[in-house]
Amino acid sequence: MPGIDECLIEAMALPGARGASLVDWTSGLALGTAGDSPVGDHETTAAETAELARAAAEFDSFAAAGEDPGDEPPVEDLIVTTRAGYHVLRFVETSFDSSVFLHLWLDRDTGNLALARIRLRDLAERLVLG
The closest of 75, 73, 72 to 62, measured between CA atoms, is 75
What is the reported pLDDT for 53? Answer: 93
Question: 90 with 76: CB under 8 angstroms?
Answer: yes
The domain that contains 64 carries what CATH number? 3.30.450.30
Confidence of residue 59 (pLDDT cuts 50, 70, 90): confident
pLDDT at 112 over 90: yes
- Average pLDDT estimate for 92-113: 90
SS3 46: helix
Q: Which of the listed ranges 45-59, 60-74, 103-117 does the model predict with the highest average pLDDT?
A: 103-117
What is the reported pLDDT for 71? Answer: 55
- Name residue 51's amino acid: E
> Which residue did the predictor score with more confidence, 129 or 84?
84
pTM over 0.85: yes
pLDDT at 48 over 70: yes
What is the reported pLDDT for 95? Answer: 73
pLDDT at 12 over 90: yes
- Average pLDDT estimate for 36-61: 92
Sheet of 29-35: strand order equals 29-35, 17-24, 100-107, 85-92, 77-81
pLDDT at 63 over 80: no
- Domain total in the chain: 1
The boundaries of the domain holding residue 102 are 4-126
H or E stretch covering 42: helix 42-58
